[in-house]
Structure 1
Amino acid sequence: MHVTHLIQLAVTGLLVACLPLSMVWMSSDANKYRKLVWVAVFLTFDLIVFGGFTRLTDSGLGCPDWPGCYGMANPFLAHEHISAAEALMPTGPVTVAKAWIEMIHRYLAMGIGFVIIALMIKAWQQWRRTRASAFAPLMPTLLFLLVCLQGAFGAWTVTMKLQPIIVTTHLLLGLTLLAMLVWLGGREDNVLAPPQPSHDPAALRGVRRLAIGSALVLLVQIALGGWVSTNYATLACSDFPLCNGQLVPEMDFEHGFTLWRELGRTAAGHYLPFSALTAIHWVHRNFAMIVVVVLGLTVWRAWPHAHLRPTARKLALVLSLQALTGVATVFLNFPLTIAVLHNAGAALLVLLVTMLNYKAKYQLDLASPTPRAPNVTPASLHQ
């Protein structure tokens, strides 16, 4: 790709970042660093949802090269190449609409990259000036490194032609980025307005253990869901609660869960049997029951704690809706809107479970015999 088009791409990403950065800069919020963190959370959530839309509309190869589109900075400049590919295969992976969906996804990703860079620079500047724990730069620096790794997997997603393990890892890294930003946002919120310590630390320790368990089972379920989506196994079971009329249908776990293979192929290069897709779908569907039980128990145990109750209430609502959209994708034969909502629900669950973990940990820290006071002054927050 010519350096001129690379510069054009970078400028496009910077322009995307300018709007949220300008909103933070011009806001009346005294603590602009905290506001920037939550803006990054909002944008990352949006990117994950749009990434799901990109995958579900089969637009991942809308531009079959990276980082540009046929070596160009945008589909306008590559219109001749895209139109030629679309004329050869009107229902193929390259069309004008799919090219725009893919490139918009990349522009948003670049914009968030610039926002994370601004967050890291701000953290280092304030840390050197104040040494306040609110600006500890380790997490923003790790976020920057994670964004770089995520960009590499975005490139491999295209260059390796949507290989399922690469696409699934790309999804998991995006959700990891969201979780880390939410954790950082929780830290900034508690520095601004520390909650009252819990009067029942023993019960809170139980909630904390359950919250960690919830995060682990949710991680497994999202990995399984990503594996379903990247292998296009959503409709491998055509009914519910049975799968193709059977409680335990014919399944090929060996080929279905071989990780390193091409899309639609076995490790030996043969076409992936339908029974392998059935195994992928069936495991994701049944593990969802474990997720509902573990997260439901976590909500029940967190509810009596006033500081945790709002997050627990939202978690219960999103978990219920997530179960409904999962079932609806089968009964309604995989409508795009429902599928995108199901992806958004997974991201919301990650956000809420992360926040519940942070709040429970913070409450336990406050309840410890020698709680550590935040190293921050009111003046240092007004930046």
Structure 2
Amino acid sequence: MAVKRLIKFTLVFTLAVILMGAYTRLSDAGLGCPDWPGCYGHLAVPSASHELAKVEQHFPDMTIEPEKAWLEMIHRYIAGTLGLMVLAILILCLKQPQAPKKLPSFIAALIILQAALGMWTVTMKLMPIVVMAHLIGGFSLFALLLLLYLRLKPLRIPGGDSHARKLMPLALVCLGVLIIQIMLGGWTSSNYAALACTTLPICEGNWVDNLRFADAFSPFQGEHPSFEFGVLDYSTRMTIHVTHRIWAVVTAVMLIWLAMKLRYSHSHIMRNSGYLLLLLVIMQVGLGISNVVMNLPLGIAVSHNAGAALLLLTLVFINYALWRKA
């Protein structure tokens, strides 16, 4: 079926868009182009003399940084391509009588919202709540595309044995715990709090007395010319980081518990899903520790985003197998 092949390719492409977005954000290139959808009023990064003259006229206080500008524009190009792919999926699903209609329509609506969030990320100068919403939208799109693929897949997943059915509530709780952790990670990144603590296991100094939860998790941070590099003080950023790190322990314990339980399933698909989940958790914990020890190297930080996306996909698959195919 053509739509299934397209969805599989779109899943891979969505992961690429998520990673490119993370790379752009972590490279501090989120405002590489201060306008939207173009770059300094052009469809590509301006470089010719007459283009640069126009930039000086309309953006007198801005200096073009070509590397950052191209990162931002490449991210927009591939995100736009992803939007066209989602539109194609919707059209194919609407044409096929047996294909779902509501889910692809919702995915198409989500991609439009993602485009708006991408615009607001720039026009609102990296406001953290908008940046985090944009990140969560990308992860949601990834998960929903997998759900759509599973809905179209004729193979019935043999996850309905008596042992597996007992894990249905645990799997759902684990998915909720992971979603909270992904949101905390997005909030940590959008507030530039990833390096607020540079020691293990928690944070340096008397961190307990400096926790400020009300300020740390307020979506409103006042009016600022730009939110680039963050506007919160150290104690507030430290609170965000500590919360993300502690919840990471909770998440790891819960997911490992589920993975170990899945080992006893009668279904080889569920057992293999458990082994994959365990492997991804170990890798993700290792990447998180490496980010702290090595002061957030770009490659490891981007890989940490990839690990979160793959964990989400694995848990969505496990829940689908247990709840829909039991």
Give the TM-score normalised by the residue count of structure 1. 0.78
Deviates more, 1:238-247 or 1:143-152: 238-247
Give 1:300 deviation, angstroms: 1.6
1:164 lines up with 2:128 in the alignment? yes
1:55 lines up with 2:29 in the alignment? no
Any idea what the Cα deviations from partners look like across 1:181-216, whole Å, max 9, x if unmatched? Answer: 011122223x1x22446331xx32332211111111
Over 3 Å counting, the alpha-carbon distance change for 1:143 and 1:77 in structure 2 is farther
Specify every segment of 5 or more residues in structure 2 that has no aligned partner in the other structure, as ranges.
none
CA distance in 1, matches of 2:223, 2:238: 15
2:115 partner amino acid: G
CA distance in 2, matches of 1:243, 1:74: 43
Give 1:45 deviation, angstroms: 1.0
- Paired residue for 1:175? 139
CA distance in 2, matches of 1:321, 1:170: 25
Assess if the C-alpha contact under 8 Å between 2:36 and 2:119 holds in 1: yes
Indicate the percent of aligned positions where both proteins have the same amino acid. 37
1:34 partner amino acid: K
CA distance in 1, matches of 2:314, 2:71: 28
- Paired residue for 2:44? 74
Q: Select the residue among 317, 329, 334 that pairs with 2:296.
A: 334
Question: What are the residue-to-residue correspondences of 1:216-365 with 2, within 5 Å?
Answer: 216-246=176-206, 248=208, 250-261=210-221, 272-305=232-265, 306=267, 307-364=269-326
- Paired residue for 1:137? 101
- Paired residue for 2:150? 186
2:42 partner amino acid: M
Give 1:264 deviation, angstroms: 8.0
- Paired residue for 1:28? none
Deviates more, 1:355-364 or 1:330-339: 355-364
1:110 partner amino acid: G
- Paired residue for 2:161? 199
CA distance in 2, matches of 1:331, 1:101: 27
CA distance in 1, matches of 2:290, 2:42: 40
1:106 lines up with 2:70 in the alignment? no
- Paired residue for 2:111? 147
CA distance in 2, matches of 1:335, 1:83: 33
Give 1:82 deviation, angstroms: 10
CA distance in 2, matches of 1:312, 1:262: 44
Give 1:240 deviation, angstroms: 0.7
Any idea what the Cα deviations from partners look like across 1:319-370, whole Å, max 9, x if unmatched? Answer: 1111111111111011111111111111111111111111112332xxxxxx
Q: CA RMSD in A?
A: 2.5
Over 3 Å counting, the alpha-carbon distance change for 1:121 and 1:213 in structure 2 is same
What is the number of residues matched between the two proteins?
Answer: 318
1:35 lines up with 2:20 in the alignment? no
1:80 partner amino acid: L
Assess if the C-alpha contact under 8 Å between 2:100 and 2:151 holds in 1: no
> Could you say what secondary structure the match of 1:308 adopts?
helix
Give 1:261 deviation, angstroms: 1.9
CA distance in 2, matches of 1:263, 1:362: 46
> Could you say what secondary structure the match of 2:167 adopts?
helix
Give 1:298 deviation, angstroms: 1.3
Deviates more, 1:105-114 or 1:251-260: 251-260
Over 3 Å counting, the alpha-carbon distance change for 1:245 and 1:89 in structure 2 is farther
Give 1:69 deviation, angstroms: 0.8
> Could you say what secondary structure the match of 1:72 adopts?
coil
Give 1:81 deviation, angstroms: 6.6
Over 3 Å counting, the alpha-carbon distance change for 1:197 and 1:72 in structure 2 is closer
Any idea what the Cα deviations from partners look like across 1:62-114, whole Å, max 9, x if unmatched? Answer: 00011111121111468627986999777xxx510011000110111110100
- Paired residue for 2:88? 118
CA distance in 2, matches of 1:81, 1:106: 24
Assess if the C-alpha contact under 8 Å between 1:37 and 1:181 holds in 2: yes
Over 3 Å counting, the alpha-carbon distance change for 1:82 and 1:315 in structure 2 is farther
> Could you say what secondary structure the match of 2:39 adopts?
coil
> Could you say what secondary structure the match of 2:279 adopts?
helix
Over 3 Å counting, the alpha-carbon distance change for 1:326 and 1:82 in structure 2 is farther
Any idea what the Cα deviations from partners look like across 1:217-266, whole Å, max 9, x if unmatched? Answer: 1111111111110010111001011311446352222222111225989x
Assess if the C-alpha contact under 8 Å between 2:40 and 2:46 holds in 1: no
2:110 partner amino acid: L
Assess if the C-alpha contact under 8 Å between 1:83 and 1:95 holds in 2: no
User: Which protein shows a greater Rg?
Assistant: 1
CA distance in 1, matches of 2:245, 2:112: 33
CA distance in 1, matches of 2:117, 2:148: 24
Assess if the C-alpha contact under 8 Å between 1:239 and 1:245 holds in 2: no
